[in-house]
Structure 1
Amino acid sequence: MPAYLIVDTQLDDPDAYEEYKAKARPHIERWGGEYLARGGELTLRESDLWSPTRMVLMRFPDVETAKACLDSPEYQEIVKISRASARRTVVILDGL
């Protein structure tokens, strides 16, 4: 069953974040992740709890693969770049 990785990112240093994007994409794709949406136009229709900023949506083969990708030692090195240049919310959602 597919899983979806949803990331909301508030960029603090957009130039530094470009390095994260360049390294994260091939890593995600090696784990079978597919980018479905990445930083496109966002239309907020209703929200009592959340004010999303820059959204990214990815599909993985399953929850276990998504978790393994994010928990891998390689990604843990890459994500340090993101944490130094942005604030994020990351969610893994089990699909249907």
Structure 2
Amino acid sequence: MSAFLVVDTKINNPEAYEEYKKLARPIVEKFGGVYRARGGAMEIHQSELWSPTRIVIVEFPDVESARAFIDSEEYAPVKQMRLDNAECTLFILEG
């Protein structure tokens, strides 16, 4: 069953975050991920529980592939770039 990595991001350093995006994409793809949405325009109709900022949705073949990406040694230094330059909420959703 597909799994979706969903990330809501408030970017604090846009220049550094652009570099993060360049480095993250090939690693995402290595683990079978396909970007389905990447910071596009949002039309919010209700936000009682959550006020999203910038949404990224990546589809993986399964939960294990999404976890393998997040926990990979290859992604670790790139992930640190995200942590240093943005505030995020990140979760995996079974599809």
Q: Into which bin does the TM-score normalised by the smaller protein fall? A: over 0.9
SS in 2 for 1:73: coil
**Structure 1 runs, 4 residues or longer, greater than 2 Å off:** none
Q: Which residue of 1 aligns with 2:38?
A: 38
Count of aligned pairs: 95
Question: Which residue of structure 2 aligns with residue 86 of structure 1?
Answer: 86
- The corresponding residue for 2:11 is 11
In the other structure, the counterpart of 2:57 is: 57
* TM-score where L is the length of structure 2: 0.98
Tell me, in whole angstroms, the C-alpha distance in 2 between the residues paired with 1:58 and 1:23. 15
Q: TM-score, normalised by structure 1?
A: 0.97
Determine the C-alpha separation between the residues in 1 that align with 2:43 and 2:14.
21
Deviation of 1:49 after TM superposition, in Å, equals 1.1
> What RMSD, in angstroms, separates the aligned Cα atoms of the two structures?
0.6
> How high is the sequence identity, in percent, across the aligned residues?
51
Q: Note the residue ranges of structure 2 that are not aligned, 5 or more in a row.
A: none
Question: How far did 1:47 drift?
Answer: 1.4
How big is each residue's C-alpha offset from its partner over 1:35-92, in whole Å with a ceiling of 9 and x where there is no partner?
0010100111111111100000110000011001110011111111111110000010
